[in-house]
Amino acid sequence: MPLAADPAAAVTLEDVRAAARLLEGIAVRTPLMNLPALADQAGVPVALKCEQLQPVGAFKIRGAYNAVARVAGAGAAAGVVTQSSGNHGQAVAFAARAFGLRAVVVMPASTPLVKVDGVRRHGGEVIFAGAVRSLEQQQRAEEIAWEEGLTMIPPFDHPDVVAGQGTVGLEILEQQPEVDTVLVPVSGGGLLAGISVALAGIKPSVRLVAVEPAGAAKLSAALAAGEPRTLERAESMADGLLTRSIGSFTFPILRRMVREVVQVTEAEIGEAVRFLHRQAGLRVEPSGAVTTAAILAGRVRLGGPTVAVVSGGNVDPDLFHRLAE
């Protein structure tokens, strides 16, 4: 899908539906899990959209596979390269292997070992450079793309990636047509932008709430400024949400469609990981638990049936043990 002059109009509902057709048999149609204990806390029915059940343990397979499939279909690339703090890298490696393409993933040295091992398990080559989504990391990925003739697959700032992530929104509406509110974690904005396109195209009355760590509140900063702003630092146990800026492609979509952003603290994220483990037996990474954290902490008042997107489950075993036990 080519980039459009107006990013806010660059991804359409039909693009999301086309991605859904392409992903049939690849991405899992993840279930909605009703959690009575969370509903009791919220005062309304609450269901979890369990994206940790995807083949790579996170929603990222949707956007990465959609983008890599289009690269493979063009037939000119020797392989693909990306920068990632973990889940996107695993998804790109998974998709590239499916199409017989080489995959190189540039990761920060601080990446949890479980995510590094995941990239390698799916056939990806790992190169360490810079901090999470830093300029150094991005430049190294761009150098590799140029020097080795590989195609860049951005983590979030690309229409094919956004369209793939939007299939989460399609499934939510098909599984729970009466949904009133959807809570979505936000990092660079690919998942949130994709879901917003799906909801706006089918049921625009749905209330969409973005959730971010208080220590990495890049969407709040961007909406306040009217444009993406780079935070001086981003700190959180939610390593998948540590992007320091909303994407330049995703922001116009989010600015048009997202009206609410809430922030959760580290203590609230940790409590949510523990709650999901004890109440539902779920192994969820901190990034995937922020939507549950927002509900448990009362950061958002809910007025009807709600879906909280659980974005992934690739968590460092030691961290999970400390949080859950």
Just list the catalytic residues: 60, 311
Q: Give the span between the Cα atoms of 239 and 216, in whole angstroms.
A: 10
In angstroms, the CA 201 to CA 172 distance is 13
Nearest to 159 by CA among 16, 54, 257: 16
Q: Which residues pair with 46 in a beta bridge?
A: 306
Structure tokens at 225: 């400024």
Helix (H) or strand (E) holding 203: none
Are the C-beta atoms of 243 and 216 separated by less than 8 Å? yes
The answer to whether the CB of 160 falls within 8 A of the CB of 11 is no
| Diameter over CA atoms, the chain | 56
* Cα atoms found within 13 Å of the Cα of residue 316, Cβ hemisphere only: 15
Closest to 84 in 3D by CA, of 117, 50, 49, 128: 128
> 55 Cβ partners below 8 Å, 6+ apart?
26, 27, 28, 61, 94
Which structure tokens are listed for 31? 């279930």
Q: How far is CA 193 from CA 65, 157, 198, 213, 301, in A?
A: 17, 10, 9, 18, 22
